[in-house]
Chain A
Amino acid sequence: MFFHIVLERNMQLHPRHFGPHLRDKLVAKLMKDVEGTCSGRHGFVVAITGVDNIGKGLIRDGTGFVTFPVKYQCVVFRPFKGEILEAVVTMVNKMGFFAEAGPVQIFVSNHLIPDDMEFQAGDVPNYTTSDGSVKIQKESEVRLKIIGTRVDATEIFCIGTIKDDFLGVINDPGASS
């Protein structure tokens, strides 16, 4: 789920950036540092939408670096248990398949795949129904439900299922090609 929240961060700026574009430099560095990171608490920071407030800088003794407390607005993405996501399949093996929903990696193990889908090994490993109408392979888009998340300090990993109503393949590149 996406959230628009205000976060705060202490930015350390090299003294060489001190000058008329100090603020711009600071914001650029903030974006570079923060976007795409993941915190267990807030999830993935997707984008910074604005900087609210930059506090007074504090010059560090010895190094000359200046620390600015910065308040900024950002969009974060955090997966939750029970959430329905659409994801792209990245890897299929006999244990299940991996998929990605933006920055989040999701693993769907084979017992959370409907019973009528069988693993087909081969050049393009895939899960296929007995009548061949539905196929899950690399690059397939699936809708899945998250049934578990593992949140580390810098990482979020999810386990999903497609064994429920309205879940499964929503766009099958193998079928269209």
Chain B
Amino acid sequence: MESFNRLVKLAARAFYDDVTTKGDNQPKTGRSDNRGMAVVVLDALTRRQWVREEDLAKDLKLHSKQLRRTLRYFEEEKLVTRDHRKETAKGARIFSAAVAATGDGQSSGKDGEEKLKLHTHSYCCLDYAQANEIFDVVRYRLHRMRKKLKDELENRNTVQEYVCPNCNRRYTAFDALQLISPDDESFRCESCRAELVAESDKRAAEEMGDNDDNARRRRREKLKDMLQKMEEQRDEMGCREWKVEEEEKEMDLKSDLSWGRMQVQLKPLTDLLNRVKDLPVPEFGSLQAWEARANAAGRATNGDPSANDSSRSSQGQGYGGTPMPFLGETKVEVALSGVPVKDEDSKPDVSATTMKVLPPWMIKQGMNLTMEQRGEVKQELKTESGSTANQHDDKKSKVNDKDDGKSIQASQKKHLCDEYLKAYYAALLQRQQDQEEAAKRNQQESANTDNMSSEMPRQVGMKSKREDDDRDDGVEWEEAPTGNADKTYKMHDLNIEAEPEASGEDEDDIDWEEGGAIEVSSIYSYDLYFKDMARSKTGVSRQEVYGKSSRTEKATGTSDTRGGRKLQIVLYRKQKQKATEKKVARARSLRGDGVQDEASQVH
């Protein structure tokens, strides 16, 4: 679906950008210049399914007549199907219900209250399905374009010209019958009887010399303009790899560079076409069928409260059509987590440097495969934590300093925060320094924790928790009171987190995260782990995790490692386990806001 939408958008920009639906006879004033409207309309249609044209016009703030003209044009271009029918308000209401069911509720408007009159309503829809129209239309268009240009550039369909080397008299192939000489079957100049030379052989010479020839040149110029234009369009469409590909393409371009360039420019589109070719076609069906289906699905979703998030995937998840790949949605997720990737990575780095020499994954830091990275990081942490109690304590004291909540730790925490910030802003170059500092701090912390020997058993207990999820809760709850008490002190000291203690629910969790300006950076990364974790877990366990996270940072540490373990699975599951995701989706969207706020704060 995403690919198809992208296809439509690309095609719109490539081919319909400067289309004006006005007749040529009308004077083109600045006001009536509606170029670009076609693109807007097509874009809008990619976000909808069947839509009543009036609604679409309203949404686009277009005059319905204008819109209808554009749509008629697209209908002729076979990009859009339209359906007209006379209907009463009831019919309109059915449609509105269908629209609401698919989550495009904003366009439903007040159609239900229309008078009981017979109106002819027109509906329109992108024509993906019928014989795969859009796909074929675009392909055909490309084919024609390519063929035409190729023919031009290879002089395929041009009339051969001949020129007399003596008197420079020019002939075309149309004169062949008169030119042919009876004795040796060659072409002879009519005036001087010299043998004619085909002009293509001479073109190079002539191009340098006299420029009195004309039609061909003009033609070529026009051609070049055309190519230029296409080039611009490609640039608009964000074709970045242009240069590289051009070099590749230069191999097989035949007679002209521009031909190869054209090929290159079209590459994104053709790639997309190739990709789309194998995808199942999103089928909206006819208007009636679509309405019926959408209504049925709407009823189903109303019955199942957990699944009524169809607005998130308005492209037709909710109504059992053909299965559609949700490329777009997941992509958005990735992009969201893509921003924090850096500090996310750097933070585990810091915590890891306290443990031991940096493993090779450090090198991969700048890269984008954050999930795996994180997974690796977590696993390493876990093994470390399992190895020695002392190291483990160190880490925990660092990670969970809030839980410890002593004044010493408060200063430590500041130190940590500074470090986080530093790690965030400094890149790999400062890694060594970080390492040193971390080592220093490590010693310091270990000293601290040694001092507070009373806390030791608790933290060891934590370790066991880390390994065992099920026991987690029980221990956690027991600890909670002390942790809370400690925390409150610390919070007030630092003026950071406002209401971490009241953290029974997700909302509190978010507030807490937003509250802590400095703390945010540290929590932030964990928060993201949570997000991933939450995806892999059921709603209940996620609640647990959130509860924990807000309650104690120890919990975050715990879930941290667990998250690491799960991340690999998450990656895998994210693609195929949509059902779980749906359940989580709502809560996540809530959290998503928090995450973004944080991101802005951090930055």
A91 touches B185 (CB 8 A): yes
B176 touches A98 (CB 8 A): yes
CA distance A105 to B159 in the complex (A): 15
CA distance A95 to B195 in the complex (A): 11
**With an 8 A cutoff between CB atoms, is B186 at the interface?**
yes
Least Cβ–Cβ distance between A153 and chain B, in angstroms: 15
**With an 8 A cutoff between CB atoms, is B61 at the interface?**
no
Which residues of A sit under 8 angstroms from B159, Cβ to Cβ?
Answer: 147-148, 159
CA distance A163 to B155 in the complex (A): 11
Top 6 closest A-B pairs, CB basis?
A: A93-B185, A150-B174, A109-B160, A107-B176, A147-B157, A159-B173
**With an 8 A cutoff between CB atoms, is B198 at the interface?**
yes
**With an 8 A cutoff between CB atoms, is B367 at the interface?**
no
Least Cβ–Cβ distance between B150 and chain A, in angstroms: 11
Q: Which of B150-196 contact A (CB under 8 A)?
A: 155-160, 162, 173-174, 176-177, 180, 185-187
Q: 23 A-B Cβ contacts within 8 A?
A: A91-B185, A93-B185, A94-B186, A95-B162, A95-B186, A96-B160, A96-B173, A105-B177, A107-B176, A109-B160, A109-B173, A109-B198, A111-B155, A111-B160, A111-B198, A112-B160, A147-B157, A148-B173, A157-B176, A159-B160, A159-B173, A159-B174, A161-B156
Residue of B whose beta carbon sits closest to that of A148 = B159
B156 touches A163 (CB 8 A): yes
Q: How many residues of B contact A (CB 8 A)?
A: 17
Which residues of A sit under 8 angstroms from B173, Cβ to Cβ?
Answer: 96, 107, 109, 148, 159
- A93 partner, pick from B157, B158, B162, B186, beta carbons under 8 A: B186
Residue of B whose beta carbon sits closest to that of A105 = B177
Residue of B whose beta carbon sits closest to that of A125 = B185
Interface flags for A79-105 (1: CB within 8 Å of B; 0: not) read: 000000000000101111010000001
CA distance A110 to B173 in the complex (A): 11
**With an 8 A cutoff between CB atoms, is B200 at the interface?**
yes
CA distance A148 to B158 in the complex (A): 8
Interface flags for A124-137 (1: CB within 8 Å of B; 0: not) read: 01000000000000
Q: Which residues in A have some Cβ–Cβ distance to B below 8 Å?
A: 91, 93-96, 98, 105, 107, 109-112, 125, 147-148, 150, 157, 159, 161, 163-164
Which residues of B sit under 8 angstroms from A163, Cβ to Cβ?
Answer: 156
B177 touches A107 (CB 8 A): yes
CA distance A93 to B186 in the complex (A): 7
Least Cβ–Cβ distance between B171 and chain A, in angstroms: 11
CA distance A164 to B185 in the complex (A): 26
Which residues of A sit under 8 angstroms from B186, Cβ to Cβ?
Answer: 93-95
CA distance A91 to B158 in the complex (A): 22
B198 touches A95 (CB 8 A): yes
Least Cβ–Cβ distance between A168 and chain B, in angstroms: 14
Residue of A whose beta carbon sits closest to that of B174 = A150
Residue of A whose beta carbon sits closest to that of B156 = A163
B177 touches A157 (CB 8 A): yes
Which residues of A sit under 8 angstroms from B162, Cβ to Cβ?
Answer: 95
Least Cβ–Cβ distance between B154 and chain A, in angstroms: 9
Q: A91-B185, A93-B186, A94-B186 are in contact. Are A111 and B200 (CB under 8 A)?
A: yes
Q: A147-B157, A159-B159 are in contact. Are A95 and B177 (CB under 8 A)?
A: no
CA distance A111 to B173 in the complex (A): 11
A95 touches B187 (CB 8 A): yes
CA distance A157 to B159 in the complex (A): 13
- A112 partner, pick from B156, B174, B185, B187, beta carbons under 8 A: B156
Residue of B whose beta carbon sits closest to that of A82 = B157
Least Cβ–Cβ distance between B194 and chain A, in angstroms: 14
Least Cβ–Cβ distance between A101 and chain B, in angstroms: 14
